[in-house]
Amino acid sequence: MDFSFTIYIVLIPLFAFLVNGLLGNKIKDSVSGYLATFALGVSTLLSYFTAYHYFFNVGKVDGIYQKITAFNTTWVNFTDKLHIDLGVLIDPISVMMLVVITTVSLLVHIYSLGYMKGDEGFTKFFAFLSLFTFSMLGLVVATNIFQMYMFWELVGLSSYLLIGYYYTKPSAVAAAKKAFIVTRFADLGFLIGILFLSYTTGTFDFITLNEGASAFAQAAPLGFMGLSVLTWSLILIFIGGAGKSAMFPLHIWLPDAMEGPTPVSALIHAATMVVAGVYLVARLFPLFSAVDAIALEIVAIVGALSSIFAAIIACTQIDIKRVLAFSTMSQIGYMMLALGVSGMEEEGTGFMGSMFHLFTHAMFKALLFLGAGSIIHAVHSNKLSDMGNLRKYMPITHITFLIACFAIAGIPPFAGFFSKDEILVAAMAHNPIYFWIEWIVAGLTAFYMFRLYFGIFWANDKKHEHAHESPFSMTLPLIILAIAASLVGFIPFNELVTSDGKILDIHIHWDIAIPSIAVGIVGIIVAFIFYKKENSWPSKMVKIFGRFYTHALNKFYFDEIYMFVTKKIIFKRFSTPIAWFDRNVVDATMDGVATVTNYFSEKIKGIQSGQLQQYVMASITAVLIIVFIFNYLIS
Amino acid sequence: MIEGIDIQHIIIVSTLMFFIGVYGFMSRKNLITMLMAVELMLNSININFVAFNRYLHPENMQGHFYSLFIIAIAAAEAAVAISIIINLYRNLHSIDVEDVNKMKH
Amino acid sequence: METIIFYIISAILIVFSVLTVTTNKILRAAVYLLFTLVATAAFYFMMEYEFLAAVQLTVYAGGIVVLIIFSILLTHQINMDLEKSDRLKKISSALIVLLGSIIVIFTISKYPFIPGSGIEDAADTSINSIGRQLLSYGEGGYILPFEVISILLLAAMIAAIIIAKKEKE
């Protein structure tokens, strides 16, 4: 059936952005908010319809989900072989992402109607939200890698605009710049990878790349260090994805990006932008598994390293949004790891687990961030030390936050358990080390999330006079997401989204599930003991860990290392000489041309002196010369 | 027709007078002396016309009449030039040609 | 006889014109100009154009030179010595003039002038015929330039008056 209506899913938010952006001054705040929300609601309904139609009606041919190009148009045509298209690709992961992005974006829009009320740049905020949604939707439905790259950069731009939304705060401006620059730097690797890839394979198009994966891998020439050029291109592309997904060591922008408003953090840094890297690897997964195994190993190592690194740091942070940021980094590490340990066809459990976890993580992480926003809205502070005993004042926030914490800790029957279980199964099948690392991370996750939970909603009452439950526009998304976080675990992902479109045969491995549930419960109990009531356990643990605790509290000094390298090495040794050259040589040449011209024109302008006799002299001389020439030289 | 004189002699005389007038125009500083040099040039032209008429075409009087009209025009032009010089003198208090240089770069 | 007179008059002409353009005192330049004009009139007399000579003496020598002398008086130049022009101007203009005269004289001496038909066919130069020709339209008539000249003189008169009149206080 014709899926060409899916182009509207992408274009409707663009339209909302243009209207809000161009007419923002002239329409009332509430009108712009409702317009953006309504537009996104239409997009959401269209994506649900697409999902229903694709997964249950027409998507399957012979039991395999097809990749359908719903819409493709040539945008720039260089030659027959080299052309850049724009289009919409419908296949299981893109439809899933459409559902995730539009749902979370719609809920964030509704939430922002309440959260950003009264703010001066209300219309601007909604315009930027629509721009971001448009860019992200364009990214996931891309038919070719170049279109994905273009929308990738658009997503980076929208996130810059949204993080730096409070543009009068210097810390917010710095955070926006940091996010943009770090991801842009990673995108250099992405671009080089794209160029290698398309040069070796001769095409940008995803369907062509994925179907001919093994043929391309065998035909690719050998490159650096014995790996084929195709492998290197995929590694470089992964670097781009790692930057956008805040993987180690390109993670430094994610904690600072919490300077943006909380709905922005929920949308961008929980559900959508940070999973773009995971989506990229998933999109090119047949190629990844066809080339040398080192490519997927690198993905797995980076994922595992990021998840444990972030989990350790998250245990020490006292700003609620920073804890959630590191938790995001850790969970994305899970998704990357799952992709890294996966194979195709029957060994595709990791792929399916990664996509499943992406889906469930979007739900509960968005719920966590929106709940955090609700709490911050009530106590007007981000710090854990200013919060306590809020369960009396904010019941809805309390219950939904608790559900989300259970989900992230992997307690059944909430969603996180099912997706995490698949990942752990895949990890164990590939290499037990990965399993044990992720098992530790699961325990730490439960610990720090419940540390947060108990610290906010139990512990000592800080006597909040103004704390009250948030308005309905803010609690409605919380409730919807809580229901989602409880129920989506039961969606049969193994039938819908797999590495090759066929149904994957799985069942619950109790020898993996029991230890993971156990370590989760241990984490919860430790947090209960430490944090439910104020006591001396936390400070004793700090003393035991001593130096290690201080390092973790300072995020292992990565920010300082980067600042040192940029300021002392790059600025001093590279940028300053280049700037000097530019100013004194290049500019001086241009100025020199102008100065010389000026000098000569000053000298020449004396000819028009206004002196009558000079003019006469000149004309008579000219006449005589002409007479001479015509009479005697030419005859 | 003057007995014994070829036309070339008269023309050489008038040429010399013309170029002396050009020299006077280009090298003098006072506006009135420049005007006098212009009169020299005009007179030399008149001699030229009359000589051509008398020697080459004595049957008609064209050169004669041209010279008549040139004299009339020269008179008119001298009158207007003098009035301009007087106006200039009133405004600049000098009739040095190097002071009249407003139309420059 | 006539040749000798011709040479004398041309010598006078050249000498006085040189003096006109090189002298320092302005009144003397005007007087030398006067002598030049009188010599020109002598030329016209020698070529039997008496009317033209008379007009030359009346208008040029009697009108324009007097006008020039009046302007000298009006602009208070009569007592001043003319400032010397700078060397560069004099030398460069002398060079140009020399060059020009050489070119022209060379060209003229090369050109074969065909003399006219002689005295038998000479036109009538009496004032009677001049007057008749001046006012006749048709072949050889000069009525049109005559009328135009009269309008030109009118315009010149008006222009001279307007340009030189004093501004009202």
Give pLDDT, residue C74.
84
The more confidently predicted of residues B39 and A26 is B39
Cβ <8 Å between A627 and C92: no
Choosing among C28, C68, C88, C130, which should be mutated to test the B contact, i.e. which has the most B CBs within 10 A? C68
Closest CA to A350 of A210, A209, A497: A497
Q: Which of these, A308, A303, A310, A404, lies nearest to A354 by C-alpha position? A: A303
**Interchain contact, C97 vs B28, CB within 8 Å:** no
Which residues of chain C approach chain A closer than 8 Å at the C-beta? Answer: 89, 92-93, 96, 99-100, 103, 107
Minimum CA–CA partner of B26 in chain A: A613
User: According to the model, what pLDDT value does residue C164 have?
Assistant: 83
3-class DSSP state of C115 = coil
Q: Which residues of B touch A617 (CB under 8 A)?
A: 26
List chains touching C (3+ CB pairs under 8 A): A, B
Size of the A and B interface in Cβ pairs below 8 Å: 27
Per-residue tokens: A176: 């926006």
CB A194 within 8 Å of CB A145: yes
- Closest CB to A612 among B22, B27, B100: B100
A342-380 in b/e form (b: 16+ CB < 10 A) is bbbeebbbbbbbbbbbbbbbbbbbbbbbbbbbbbbbbbe
CB contact under 8 A, A616 and B98: no
Which residues fall within 8 angstroms of residue A20, CB to CB, at 6 or more apart? A32, A35, A36, A123, A124, A126, A127, A130
Q: Other C-beta atoms within 10 Å of A37: how many?
A: 22
Q: Quick one: pLDDT at residue C10?
A: 94
Nearest by CB to B56, which of C105, C116, C119?
Answer: C116
Whole-number pLDDT of residue C169? 64
CB–CB contact A617 C93 (8 Å): yes
pLDDT recorded at residue B20:
96
Are the C-beta atoms of A268 and A274 separated by less than 8 Å?
yes
Report the DSSP beta bridge partners of residue A89.
Answer: A69
Mean pLDDT confidence for B24-46: 92
Q: How far is B104 from chain C (nearest CA, A)?
A: 19
Q: Touching check for B95 and chain A: CB below 8 Å? A: no
Query: In the numeric block, which tokens belong to residue B6?
Result: 């070829």
Cβ of residue A589 closer than 8 Å to a chain B Cβ:
no
C-alpha count within 13 angstroms, C-beta hemisphere, residue A366: 37
Q: Which chains touch B (3 or more CB pairs under 8 A)?
A: A, C
Tell me the chain A residues in contact with residue C96 when contact means C-beta distances shorter than 8 Å.
Answer: 617, 620-621, 624
Question: Are B104 and A612 an interchain contact pair (Cβ–Cβ within 8 Å)?
Answer: no
User: What is residue A12's predicted lDDT score, i.e. its pLDDT?
Assistant: 92
Residues of chain C where predicted confidence (pLDDT) is lower than 70: 80, 82-83, 85, 117-122, 169
Cα-Cα-Cα-Cα dihedral sign, residues A566, A570, A573, A575: negative
For A48-68, the DSSP string reads HHHHHIIIIIISEETTEEPPE
Q: Which two tokens stand for residue A277?
A: 């890297």
Interface test with B, best of A600, A602, A611 (most B CBs within 10 A): A611
Q: What is the dihedral of CA A499, A502, A508, A509, to 10 degrees?
A: -60
Cis peptide before A249 (omega within 30 of 0): yes
Peptide bond preceding A538 in cis form (omega within 30 of 0): no
Domains delineated in chain B: 7-104 (1.10.287.3510)
> Running DSSP on this structure, what letter comes out for residue C64?
I
Cβ separation C2–B5 shorter than 8 A: yes
Q: Is B70 on the interface with C (CB under 8 A)?
A: no
**Per-position DSSP letters for A170-224, written without gaps between them:** HHHHHHHHHHHHHHHHHHHHHHHHHHHHHHHHS--BHHHHHHTHHHHHHHPPB-G
CB A357 within 8 A of CB A292: no
Q: Are strands A64-65 and A60-61 parallel, antiparallel or unpaired?
A: antiparallel
> Taking CA atoms, what residue in C is nearest to A616?
C93
**Is A381 in a helix, a strand, or coil?**
coil
Contacts of B47 in chain C (CB under 8 A): 40, 43
**CB distance from B25 to chain A under 8 Å?**
yes
Which residues of B fall within a CB distance of 8 Å from A612? 97, 100
User: Which chain A residue's Cα is nearest to C100?
Assistant: A624
Q: Which residues on chain B are in Cβ contact (under 8 Å) with A605?
A: 105
* Residues recorded for chain C: 169
Assess whether pLDDT exceeds 60 at residue B22: yes
Distance from CA of A81 to the nearest CA of B (A): 60
Query: Considering only CB atoms, which chain C residues are within 8 Å of B99?
Result: none
Task: Please report residues of A whose CB lies closer than 8 A to that of B98.
Answer: 611
Chain A residues with CB under 8 Å of B102 CB are 610
In the prediction, which pLDDT does A598 show? Answer: 94
Q: What is the pLDDT of residue A599?
A: 93
Share of chain B above pLDDT 90, in %: 58
Q: Quote the pLDDT of residue A207.
A: 84
Check CB contact under 8 Å for B67 and C115.
no
Supply φ then ψ for residue A144, to 5 degrees.
Answer: -140, 165
Contact list in C for residue A617 (CB cut-off 8 A) is 92-93, 96
Taking an 8 Å cut-off on Cβ atoms, the answer to whether C97 and B69 are in contact is: no
- Regions of chain A short of the pLDDT cut 70: 1, 59-64, 66, 462-466, 501, 635
Quick one: pLDDT at residue C118?
64
What pLDDT, on the 0 to 100 scale, is given for residue A635?
65
Q: Chain B, 38-57: which have a CB under 8 Å from a chain C CB?
A: 39-40, 43, 46-47, 50-51, 54-57
User: Given B26, B61, B89, which is nearest C75 (Cβ)?
Assistant: B89
Structure tokens at A208: 């062509």
* Chain-centre distance for alpha carbon A245: 5
